Amino acid sequence: PKTTPCTRTLLSNAATAYLTSQTRGTFTPLTPYLSPNWTYTENNSPIASPLTSPTTILLKPLTIAYNRTIYDLDACATYTEIIAPSTQAPYVLGVQIRHSPLPPSSSPPTTNTTTTITSIDTITTTPKSWLFNATSTLLHAQQESWLPIPPAQQDSRDAIRAAGDAYLDMWSDASAVNRVPWGTPCTRLEGGAYTGTGSKNDSCRVGVPVGGGQKPNTGRRYVIDVEMGSVSVFCVWEHMMNAADSHEFRLEKGKLRYIHTMTSCGDKVCRL
Applying CB under 6 A, which part among 70-78, 110-118, 219-227, 245-253 lies near ligand NAG?
110-118
Kindly state the smallest distance separating residue 173's Cβ from ligand NAG, in Å. Answer: 28
Spell out, one character per residue from 57 to 76, where the chain touches ligand NAG: x when CB under 6 A holds, - when not: -------x--x---------
By CB under 6 A, is residue 3 in contact with ligand NAG? no
Burial 183-221, CB ≥16 within 10 A → b, else e = bebbbbbbbbbbbbeeeeebbbeeeebeeeeeebbeebb
Give the separation between CA 262 and CA 207, rounded to whole angstroms: 16
Asked if the bond preceding 185 is cis, omega within 30° of 0, the reply is yes
Kindly state the smallest distance separating residue 36's Cβ from ligand NAG, in Å. Answer: 7
Kindly state the smallest distance separating residue 171's Cβ from ligand NAG, in Å. Answer: 26
Kindly state the smallest distance separating residue 200's Cβ from ligand NAG, in Å. Answer: 6
Angle, CA 207 vertex, CA 177 and CA 253 arms, to 5°: 50
Instruction: Determine the size of the site formed for ligand NAG (CB under 6 A).
Output: 19
Burial 15-46, CB ≥16 within 10 A → b, else e = bebbbebbbeeebebbeebbeeebebbbbbee
By CB under 6 A, the residues from 185 to 214 that bind ligand NAG are 192, 199-201
By CB under 6 A, the residues from 7 to 36 that bind ligand NAG are 19, 23, 35
59, 75, 131, 139: which one binds ligand NAG (CB under 6 A): 139
By CB under 6 A, is residue 135 in contact with ligand NAG? yes
Give the separation between CA 211 and CA 114, rounded to whole angstroms: 49
26, 53, 115, 118: which one binds ligand NAG (CB under 6 A): 118
Applying CB under 6 A, which part among 47-55, 135-143, 223-231, 259-267 lies near ligand NAG?
135-143
**What's the burial of 106, exposed, middle or buried (CB within 10 Å: 0-12/13-18/19+)?**
middle
Kindly state the smallest distance separating residue 184's Cβ from ligand NAG, in Å. Answer: 8
Closest CA to 43 of 115, 100, 96: 96
Kindly state the smallest distance separating residue 87's Cβ from ligand NAG, in Å. Answer: 11
Torsion sign over Cα 102, 103, 104, 106:
negative
Kindly state the smallest distance separating residue 268's Cβ from ligand NAG, in Å. Answer: 18
Round to the nearest angstrom and report the end-to-end CA distance of the chain.
49
121 near 96, Cβ under 8 Å? yes
Binding residues vs ligand NAG (CB under 6 A): 19, 23, 35, 37, 39, 64, 67, 110-112, 118, 133, 135-136, 139, 192, 199-201
